[in-house]
Amino acid sequence: MNLQITQLNLPDRMIDLGVGQPDPSLLPLADLKQAAEHRLGHGDPSILQYGTEQGNGYFRDNLARFLSHGYRSTVDPEHLFITAGATSGIDLICACLTNPGDTVFVEEPTYFLALRLFADRRLNVVGLPTDENGLDMDALEESVAETQPAFVYIVPTFHNPSGATLTATRRERLGRLSEKFKFYVIADEVYHLLSYIDEPPLPMANFNRSGKVISVGSFAKILAPGLRLGWIQAAPELIRQLTASALLKSGGGMNPFTSAIVQSMIELGSQQRHLERLIAVYSQRATNLVTALRDFLPDSVVFEEPRGGFFLWMQLPEGMNAQTLRKAAKTQWVNFQPGNNFSATGELINFIRLCFVYYSSEKLREGIKRLGQVMLQSRKESSK
Amino acid sequence: MNLQITQLNLPDRMIDLGVGQPDPSLLPLADLKQAAEHRLGHGDPSILQYGTEQGNGYFRDNLARFLSHGYRSTVDPEHLFITAGATSGIDLICACLTNPGDTVFVEEPTYFLALRLFADRRLNVVGLPTDENGLDMDALEESVAETQPAFVYIVPTFHNPSGATLTATRRERLGRLSEKFKFYVIADEVYHLLSYIDEPPLPMANFNRSGKVISVGSFAKILAPGLRLGWIQAAPELIRQLTASALLKSGGGMNPFTSAIVQSMIELGSQQRHLERLIAVYSQRATNLVTALRDFLPDSVVFEEPRGGFFLWMQLPEGMNAQTLRKAAKTQWVNFQPGNNFSATGELINFIRLCFVYYSSEKLREGIKRLGQVMLQSRKESSK
């Protein structure tokens, strides 16, 4: 009998810097216990009934206030739709707004499981170039002028895997292109609130002149993945398309019980306090990761210091292959995500993604020390 | 600002016997509060992490024991996959096992939102005849010999809407046909545990010689719809197909947090006690509904006394149209589901579905009294 609880099941000795999940020791069990007592003690059983398709109005009201504070721009609760996490939200958008065979554009690199999600929906995925400021807008304009995509999927802030943030100017232009060429934008903004140095540009919902910009958020990165709770911020007309689906009509709102408990976390202030704690811990880990990289890795690796989110994206020394390196690394009990996993065409084999939130600073440093030794060894062997 | 919590929003005066939801006053808020305290006080934050795709092993172990008792046949926890409710389970099955354009067979009548779910997945839905013992197996054999369907969707026990239960002999034959003609069976068994008179035949998982029988269950009918928690019982090879989908790989298990809380309800015995309470209350309401129908409705209506589940299916007096009757009924503040909603081809306009679990016996009686008056009035008018 397999009594596993979590998705991840790593050997104790392994330091897997490829894992893109929160540190279990930071998951706020006590806060959620308090929130559950608060909400379930209120005596309103309607939170246990089939929920309204858009999501509990009181919860959306609280979420809107929480987001307005974090986003530094007003969020209207009528523009929020409650999901069972970012993935479920994106899958529902695909169900409602695409047909099998449709072309969609993604960034190169992009979130690797989004690629698989779109493949499961039988969409034709095309990768577009990016740089340190996010998606290349000239390339996008050229491509949408040639082929109208069903949507463009981007991670505008603290990108997974690249860490890059789309500039305000490019956001503005993306909004205008969406209007001119009539395509949807799915902005996966799950890292937006995890900002460690300075404020990122406003979320994509602020550049929604087309009415076709859909912002996807989640409690997975700021509270707990196991809740399966997130939101979509979009124009009410678009939300009506989502709530009209049979999936919503039959099951009702996507996560009413958990919504109600998280509502109490927002009301009691524990969600905001937890977010501030995460920012303090994660930003320190990002700094310590960078120090370890400078201490243990060859000078010829190229990376930007993380400004937020979960990840650091690194170009390996010229000619070094991430898949080959990974094989060697695993034998030394360290692991990472090779860059080609994030490519629509299997490119980027010279890059790797490192996550700095799952492990403590000590473990991160030990992992990078091991990685440095493996890289040194692999260069020696290749120069033989 | 729309502060609605529940999917349903009825005027106070309306008695809507079309509503297929539990009575809010029976939703066990206090039990869930106790279960949340029990589970969240255990100090294991791994229930908040991305969950294993198949669902928490400890929860599956408890669920298997609970089901083995209720089903009177052993359920193997390795044959269970945890879903976010029956609808999400059926939608995931469609995603993994069908292609747009595939033909699927359903019963005539069938659950109306399953029809819409299959339409959203662009499946070609064909209705097959049923009688008081469920799906007509001769008709099924003839149809599958002619066209191999992706799957056959049935509600074998205490059918929605008809209330009928598929006999053991027919279950056995369905299993054999699934083997011979190589089609999947989706058995929507969400009402199986709500048995009021005698034990129904064993669930469809006991007739799975083909390895293609998939049983779908849910906590919506036996605990609370707002939890969005259910399960699929199927062969491990089939479960592996579901867990390999990008939706599961990206989000992890479908509802880890709520699973963990419901695990405590099973461990503490409150799930079993709640089920027994529901059976006592609902069976009394079914009896009282039948009494009211005999007291207030013309003798020419035809129905079977409910043996379980949520619904009574009734044939109206000859020539009476359910849609026309419904318009008149609504003006007298009573409502129901017209039969054509449950037909793949819009037939069955001479039938209606009545739910006996949402309202108290007093309200049910008042609703049927109003319906009787409306029927009397409509017959007078049609005989003018």
Q: Which of A228, A229, A265 is the best substitution to test chain B (most B C-beta atoms within 10 A)?
A: A228
Within 8 A of B256 by CB-CB distance, chain A residues are 5, 226, 228
Match 């190229």 to its residue by tokens.
A302
Neighbouring CB atoms inside 10 A of A171's CB total: 27
Mean pLDDT over each residue of chain B, to the nearest integer: 96
- Has residue B1 got a pLDDT over 90? no
Distance CA A175, CA B284 (A): 59
Q: B52 and A4 in contact by Cβ < 8 A?
A: yes
Q: B225 and A50 in contact by Cβ < 8 A?
A: yes
Instruction: Quick: pLDDT tens for B227-255.
Output: 999 999 999 999 999 999 999 999 999 99
Closest to B345 (Cα-Cα) out of B119, B38, B90: B119
Q: What is the band of B224 on the pLDDT scale with cuts at 50, 70, 90? A: very high
Distance CA B229, CA B235 (A): 20
Q: B50 and A21 in contact by Cβ < 8 A?
A: yes
- Is any Cβ of chain B less than 8 angstroms from the Cβ of A85? yes
Domain boundaries, chain A: 15-28+272-379, 31-269
Query: Got the DSSP string for A206-237?
Result: GG-TTS-EEEEEESTTTT-GGG--EEEE--HH
- Is any Cβ of chain A less than 8 angstroms from the Cβ of B224? yes
Closest to A268 (Cα-Cα) out of A28, A57, A35: A35
Instruction: Quick: pLDDT tens for A320-341.
Output: 999 999 999 999 999 999 999 9
Distance CA B217, CA B9 (A): 26
Range list of H helices, B244-269: 246-251, 256-267
Q: B57 and A3 in contact by Cβ < 8 A?
A: yes
Closest to A91 (Cα-Cα) out of B94, B247, B249, B255: B247
Closest to A44 (Cα-Cα) out of A338, A343, A257, A235: A257
- Has residue B289 got a pLDDT over 90? yes
Distance CA A186, CA A22 (A): 24
Q: Check the CA dihedral A4-B98-B178-B153 and report its sign.
A: positive
Closest CA in chain B for residue A76? B1
Q: What is the band of B378 on the pLDDT scale with cuts at 50, 70, 90? A: confident
Closest to A339 (Cα-Cα) out of A125, A116, A111, A173: A111
Residue B291 makes CB contacts below 8 A (sequence gap 6+) with B365
The architecture of the domain spanning A15-28+272-379 is Alpha-Beta Complex (3.90)
Q: What is the pLDDT of residue A341?
A: 95
Distance CA B80, CA B219 (A): 14
Side-chain-side CA neighbours of residue A245 (13 Å): 25
- Has residue B2 got a pLDDT over 90? no
Q: Check the CA dihedral B87-B88-B94-B97 and report its sign.
A: negative
Fold of the domain spanning A31-269:
Aspartate Aminotransferase; domain 2 (3.40.640)
Q: In which region does residue A67 sit, left (phi positive, over 0), alpha (psi from -120 to 50) or beta (all else)?
A: alpha
Distance CA A137, CA A125 (A): 18
Side-chain-side CA neighbours of residue A132 (13 Å): 8
Q: A2 and B57 in contact by Cβ < 8 A?
A: yes
Distance CA B146, CA A109 (A): 48
Q: Is B65 exposed, middle or buried (0-12, 13-18, 19+ CB in 10 A)?
A: middle
Q: What is the band of B52 on the pLDDT scale with cuts at 50, 70, 90? A: very high
The reply to whether the predicted model has a pTM over 0.90 is yes
- A79-88, A166-175, A191-200, B375-384: range with lowest mean pLDDT: B375-384
Reduce the DSSP state of residue B317 to 3 states and report it. coil
- Has residue A384 got a pLDDT over 70? no
- Has residue A194 got a pLDDT over 80? yes
Please state the rounded mean pLDDT for residues B304-329.
Answer: 97
Q: Which amino acid is at B167?
A: T
Closest to A7 (Cα-Cα) out of B330, B181, B249, B324: B249
Residue B300 to chain A, least CA–CA distance (Å): 33
Q: What is the pLDDT of residue A381?
A: 78
Backbone angles phi, psi at B316, to 5 degrees: -75, 165
Q: What is the band of B42 on the pLDDT scale with cuts at 50, 70, 90? A: confident
Distance CA A240, CA B149 (A): 33
Closest CA in chain A for residue B53? A7
Q: A258 and B257 in contact by Cβ < 8 A?
A: yes
Instruction: Quick: pLDDT tens for B162-193.
Output: 999 999 999 999 999 999 999 999 999 999 99
Q: Which of A19, A21, A25, A50 is the best substitution to test chain B (most B C-beta atoms within 10 A)?
A: A50
Hey, which residues does B107 pair with through a beta bridge?
B128
- ipTM, 2 dp: 0.96
Q: B250 and A116 in contact by Cβ < 8 A?
A: yes
Instruction: Quick: pLDDT tens for A108-163.
Output: 999 999 999 999 999 999 999 999 999 999 999 999 999 999 999 999 999 999 99
Reduce the DSSP state of residue A308 to 3 states and report it. strand
Name the DSSP letter for residue A14.
-
Instruction: Quick: pLDDT tens for A227-252.
Output: 999 999 999 999 999 999 999 999 99
Q: Residue A93 in contact with residue B118, Cβ under 8 Å?
A: no
- Is any Cβ of chain B less than 8 angstroms from the Cβ of A58? yes
Closest CA in chain B for residue A219? B48
Please state the rounded mean pLDDT for residues A46-62.
Answer: 97
Question: What is the CATH code of the structural domain delimited by B44-268?
Answer: 3.40.640.10
Distance CA B309, CA B311 (A): 6
Q: Residue A69 in contact with residue A272, Cβ under 8 Å?
A: yes
Q: B52 and A117 in contact by Cβ < 8 A?
A: no
Helices A57-71 + A256-267 axis angle, to 10: 50
Q: What is the pLDDT of residue A2?
A: 82
- Has residue A353 got a pLDDT over 90? yes
Mean pLDDT over each residue of chain A, to the nearest integer: 96
Q: What is the pLDDT of residue B384?
A: 64
Q: A113 and B32 in contact by Cβ < 8 A?
A: no
Q: Where are the beta strands (DSSP E) in chain A?
A: 15-16, 80-83, 103-108, 124-131, 134-135, 151-154, 184-188, 213-218, 230-233, 302-303, 311-315, 334-335, 337-338, 351-355
Closest CA in chain A for residue B111? A250
Within 8 A of A30 by CB-CB distance, chain B residues are 40
Instruction: Quick: pLDDT tens for A105-119.
Output: 999 999 999 999 999
